[in-house]
Structure 1
Amino acid sequence: MTSSELPAGFQFAGVACGIKPSGKPDLSLIVGDNRLVASGVYTQNQVVAAPVEICRSLTPSKRIRAVVTNSGNANACTGRQGELDAAEMCRSVADAISASEAEVLVMSTGIIGKKMPMDRVNAGIKNSVAKLGRDIDDFTAAADAILTTDKERKAECREVKLGDQTIRIAAMAKGAGMISPNLATMLAVVMTDAQLDPQQSQRILREVASKSFNCVSVDGHTSTNDTLLLLSSGASGIRIDDSNEKAFIRALTDLSCRLARELVADGEGATHVMKIRVVGADDDASAATIARTIGASPLVKTAISGGDPNWGRIVSAAGYADAKINPQQTSLKLAGTEIYHNGVPTDFDAAAVSKAIKATKEVDLDLFVGNGPGTAIHWASDLTVEYVRFNSEYTT
């Protein structure tokens, strides 16, 4: 990543303000030079954090100036005080950049049920405004400050050719555990200097999310704080219209898929990513349901973790998914080897397939369930002893 690949019209900062006991960065700020078009998709959980309620109420919009994010505290299940604290974060940023409170979006991630240390947060906001910059180091500092249990930064930026014109897109994300389809304990911001209108931005974001961030699973647990934002500065002067929208969506989807896969690869204790491809379902929605069901199965996850080519677990998971399959036309390839064909196991070399699973970080599961037009790709992590250990000790 280079500074020249960052979209124009944005500034970034990331600082440590003392929310995390570790002293690691925990306050991130993104500010537009002018008002930004913003859209969002959010958690499907009925229990939602105060920042989610604020973002939902403000998007889609054409008048957003900034996004402030803290890590280390989810500000969820914190009652009226949590609502007041989230609003205060917006107001603190707004005052510092000469904007209004309704022009600031807020995201939080971390432990649920803890009150926000607002004295530290407000000091961090003041510090981050003073550090705002446009370089790649400023962008990565902002990306680092949203992380919690992540082992690695998740950030991308690139130039995109739309005919003979060039726009830029960038994104940062966080998430490693409590990850399930329909978003999870995941925060992500996608930015572009292309010109969008609010309703167009919302439509595009939903389409991109359906093919990327909504196609991942670590543990089947949907969180309280899921937020995915799309911000457009329009600083390139290039309008997204019928002539270039499909190419723009492809670029956003590709970038988002890369980050979504990184969420799964960084799953707490994960040793493998399963790339689950379902073909031949009645429609794409049915294929997605089958893929999600397979990816959420603890028995499938543990089999992949141990390098066990247990086709029965995968096929039976497809069978109990809430979507129709044709058992007599169901076939399965695992790590490139067909181990089940038209309802019957093949005479495969189990030891060789096991070795192939263990030798790769990303394991392909290709399942054919009939002759329908429906297809889907889903990424899921395996399940290891390390995941159990980490999450049994998370708050203590």
Structure 2
Amino acid sequence: MLLGPGGDGVSVVAAAAAVGPRSSGRSASDHTLLITCDRHSQTANRLGVYSKTAVPVEVSSSLSLLELDPLAVTEQTWGEFAEALSMTQSHAGPILPVVSSLAAVAPGELISLPGVEDLLLLRRVRDEATSGRWTSVIVDCSGQRDPLALLRAPAVLSQALNRLWPRHRRLAAASERPMMARLTSAVDQLDGDCRDIAALLADPHTTAAHLVVGAGSRSMAVLTAQLASAALMGLPVRTVFVSGGDAADHERIAALAGDAIDVVAVPKVVDPLDRSGRLRKLGVTLSAPGGRPFGSAAARVDLIAGSDLDAIYEMRWHQPLPEPDRLGLGRSDDDLLVTVSGFRYPVRLPSVLRRCVVTEAAWESGVLRIRFAPNPAVWPQKPEQKKTASKKSVRKT
């Protein structure tokens, strides 16, 4: 996946990587799919093909292009979901206050569905990546106001769904009222897609993220924020491509990126990048997924003191923090809500920590450390502990 601020050459680097030299491990029989999420993309013109929205178009024997319009993807999928809502509403009567309103929205009336539009776009990307048709998939995320907000959407939407209508309540409603089964199935599928996509994006064995930035103070500020947000999401960043700038700029960016991320300069060209041959001269190659977890996806949980109800657990991961005074922590059911420089992300807690409460947190030497203690109200108790608790209860009575 290629990310970066608008105007820094994200789409050019993506197209150059798609037509350029093959990276190590790829053969002549490999077939790459280049996906662009920008409704105003010029990639088809650069590659010299006529494209049709939502349909892969062959550019060469080893490359195809798929242009996705987020609104068009949403319209195609919304009809199925609205039908499930409508059927449930007509046979089961009022269920939730919003059901009848949502069921009445026709696909052609949609302007934007925050979170849902991004999810459906990423679901189409996921389906192509797991279809078996392509050896590799390059996703050009240019054209999005905030590409990391796009990638955050599945985790945020899943958290919102389960906050508004928890899964155990959905299942109970379906068992009590059979006509609810179709609606709960549709919501469960949506929630399952959210979790599946979030896990795929953070999987370092299948996904590699590449940031594209220009030189200068603005790009440095953007890169700093993007690296911090990527670490919070667990997005496995492999490369930072720098367009323009001098050796000093590249050294500053390399220091910021750290040893685990490669910094690659993209050469300037005089000719317009309006054909495959000129794009190929940039010599852009993309590093394959490295298999190394990044940020919160590499979080460690250790028992550092005590046992049972007296235990103290610590969860920690490497987390850049551009603005320490803007670090925020919260809790919502099984998620730890972490805010870094105005970017909030729900980090799913390991099972052992879901029955705990946060006791303290600290950030030092680039590592975020959060400590937890068991919550007596939900912590599993041993038989002898239950007997003791029962005796205390009897005495009080």
Normalised to the residue count of structure 2, the TM-score between the two structures is 0.26
- From the two aligned structures, give the one with the greater strand fraction: 1
- From the two aligned structures, give the one with the greater helix fraction: 2
